[in-house]
């Protein structure tokens, strides 16, 4: 998704292809949202595309931390939760508050940003602008949490950091479920009725699928720019050798903190998008299993590869939610297979993941990036092997 930003010198043709492909992608998404009649194929395709785009962003944000800065953090689910809640709390329409906060007398916060903007700008513009503002706010809140947590936690090394961040994610979850905060977070109950993808449209053009793509693409582009900046090089230096990096005058704590906060910002944005996708959220879903899932996608894609994370996200989501569902259904092309029953899909998945971890530890992309210029060069040379990955984000 970030192909346009590759800084390879001979890549004019590559850039052109990328631009054409991205344009084609958005035209396709437009058709999908507005023109194509829903059938059993597009019905399954649309959620996979939306969730794939969101997970791409979430995985890239984790990769920034784990792959590019070498900080093994397992707190991702916590930041997703913060982002999802920060977004939804401020986009629930005022007249829905009594229904949503049914046990807390309508809750403490009684306004909705999209609605307030909608009164001035018109409903559609209000929804889009309100959603974008709240998404950014979600990211900021998650980043603020990260900054607070980072002060103590980032002093810890590798596996201690992992377990401490995992612990913080659990603490955040417990706090959000606490009835004392009920008027804001709705306690154990779900938040719903907030602005979601189906509310996003310009005029009569629906953007339900294009919107998550747009947001994640912009965010991933920013992350890629960051990685290629001097900060990104400092992150990599910290990852490769802390002592050497420090000797070169790189402030360890400052850069670790920066990476942690930025990663959490985008995790928060991802959480907000996830909330929009799910149309309801509940703190219960943001367990450590979610972090593990994200981590495993990052590993499949290749630790230290942005395009790898994106490809792996789409592949994983498509397999998990669509292509491999037949493993659970008890039959394969009408032939009944006795061991195909509920849960078999997950067993197959976990075996696959173990195989990748043990035998293909570089994942789909290793630490390389997908670039069209590179592909064309390879093609010219007729070199076989070497090039890995093929999914088209």
Partner 1 sequence: MSAFIQANLPYLLSGISVGGQYALIAIGYTMVYGILRLINFAHGDVFMVAGLVMVYLTTAMPMYISIPLTIIITVLLGFTIERVAYKPLRSAPRMSVMISAIGVTYLLQNCALYFTGGLAQIYPTIPWLSDSVTIGSATTKMVTVVTPILTVVLVFALVLFIQKTKIGMAMRAVSRDFETSQLMGIKINSVISMTFVIGCGLAAIGSLLYFTNYPSVIPTSGSMPGLKAFVAAVFGGIGSIPGAVIGAFVIGICENIIKGLGSSWTIFSDAFTFVLLIIVLLVKPTGIFGEKATDKV
Partner 2 sequence: MKKILAIALAVVMVMALAVPAFAADEIVIGVFEPLSGDNGAGGKQETLGIQYANSVTPTVEVGGTTYDVKLVVADNESSNDKAVSAATQLVASGASIVLGSYGSGVSIAASDTFGDAGIPVIGVTCTNPQVTEGNDHYFRICFLDPFQGTVQANFAHDELGATKAYCLGQLGNDYDQGLINYYTQAAEALGMEVTAESFPEGNSDFTSYLTNAKNAGAEVIFAPCSISYAQLIVEQAASQGIDVPITAPDTWDSNVVMEAVQGTDLDVYCTTFYAEGGDPDFEEGFKAYLNSDDTALANNGGNDMIAAVSVMGYDAYYTALEAIKAAGSTDPADVMAALPGTTYTGVSGAIAFDEIGDAIRDSAFIKQANTETGVWDFVAAQTVAEAEAE
Chosen from partner 2, partner 1, none, partner binding at 246 (C-beta under 5 to 8 Å by type)? none
Structure tokens at 238: 């910290």
Q: Which of 72, 231, 323, 326 binds partner 1 (CB under 8 A)?
A: 72
| By the rule CB under 8 A, 323 interacts with partner 2 | yes
Minimum gap (Å) between residue 370 Cβ and partner 1: 22
The answer to whether 139 and 260 have CB atoms below 8 angstroms apart is no
Cα distance between residue 81 and residue 140, in whole Å = 13
Minimum gap (Å) between residue 244 Cβ and partner 1: 11
Minimum gap (Å) between residue 311 Cβ and partner 2: 10
Chosen from partner 2, partner 1, none, partner binding at 102 (C-beta under 5 to 8 Å by type)? partner 2
- Nearest alpha carbon to residue 277 among 45, 51, 20: 51
Q: Which helix (H) or strand (E) holds 149?
A: helix 123-153
- Nearest alpha carbon to residue 146 among 236, 76, 216, 90: 76
User: Could you count the other beta carbons within 10 Å of the beta carbon of residue 245?
Assistant: 19
Q: Which of 8, 96, 177, 278 binds partner 1 (CB under 8 A)?
A: 177
User: Could you count the other beta carbons within 10 Å of the beta carbon of residue 376?
Assistant: 15
Residues 76-95 binding partner 2 (CB under 8 A) are: none
- Nearest alpha carbon to residue 373 among 9, 23, 24: 9
Chosen from partner 2, partner 1, none, partner binding at 324 (C-beta under 5 to 8 Å by type)? partner 2
Minimum gap (Å) between residue 342 Cβ and partner 2: 5
- Assign 3-state DSSP to the chain and report helix, strand, coil percentages, each to 5: 70, 5, 25
Q: Which of 192, 239, 256, 368 binds partner 2 (CB under 8 A)?
A: 192
Kindly list the residues in this chain that would bind partner 1 in the complex (CB under 8 A): 66, 70, 72, 152-153, 155-160, 162-164, 166-168, 170-171, 174-175, 177-180, 242-243, 288, 292, 295-296, 299, 303, 341-344, 346-347, 349-351, 353-354, 357-358, 361
């Amino acid at each position: 998704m970030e192909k346009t930003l590759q800084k390879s010198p001979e890549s004019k043709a590559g850039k052109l292809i990328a631009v054409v492909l991205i344009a084609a992608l958005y035209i396709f998404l437009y058709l999908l949202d507005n023109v194509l009649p829903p059938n059993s194929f597009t019905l399954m395709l649309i959620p996979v595309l939306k969730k794939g785009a969101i997970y791409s962003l979430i995985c890239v944000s984790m990769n920034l931390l784990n792959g590019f800065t070498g900080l093994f953090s397992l707190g991702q689910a916590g930041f997703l939760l913060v982002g999802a809640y920060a977004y939804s709390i401020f986009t629930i329409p005022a007249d829905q508050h009594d229904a949503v906060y049914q046990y807390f007398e309508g809750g403490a916060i009684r306004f909705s940003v999209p609605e307030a903007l909608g009164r001035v700008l018109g409903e559609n513009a209000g929804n889009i602008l309100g959603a974008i503002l709240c998404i950014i706010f979600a990211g900021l809140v998650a980043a603020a949490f990260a900054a607070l947590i980072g002060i103590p936690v980032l002093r810890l090394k590798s596996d201690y950091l992992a377990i401490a961040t995992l612990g913080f994610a659990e603490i955040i979850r417990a706090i959000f479920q606490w009835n004392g905060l009920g008027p804001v977070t709705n306690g154990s109950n779900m938040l719903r009725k907030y602005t979601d993808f189906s509310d996003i449209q310009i005029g009569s053009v629906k953007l339900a699928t294009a919107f998550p793509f747009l947001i994640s693409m912009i965010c991933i582009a920013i992350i890629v720019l960051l990685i290629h900046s001097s900060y990104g090089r400092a992150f990599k230096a910290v990852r490769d050798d802390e002592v050497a990096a420090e000797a070169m005058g790189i402030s360890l704590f400052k850069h670790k903190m920066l990476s942690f906060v930025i990663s959490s910002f985008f995790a928060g944005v991802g959480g907000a998008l996830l909330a929009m996708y799910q149309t309801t959220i509940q703190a219960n879903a943001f367990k450590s299993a979610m972090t593990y899932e994200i981590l495993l996608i990052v590993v499949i894609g290749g630790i230290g590869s942005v395009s790898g994370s994106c490809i792996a996200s789409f592949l994983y989501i498509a397999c998990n939610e669509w292509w491999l569902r037949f493993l659970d259904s008890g039959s394969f092309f009408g032939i009944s297979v006795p061991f195909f029953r509920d849960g078999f899909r997950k067993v197959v998945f976990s075996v696959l993941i173990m195989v990748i971890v043990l035998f293909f530890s570089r994942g789909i992309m290793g630490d390389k990036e997908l670039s069209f210029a590179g592909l064309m060069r390879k093609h010219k040379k007729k070199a076989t092997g070497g090039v890995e990955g093929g999914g088209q984000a």
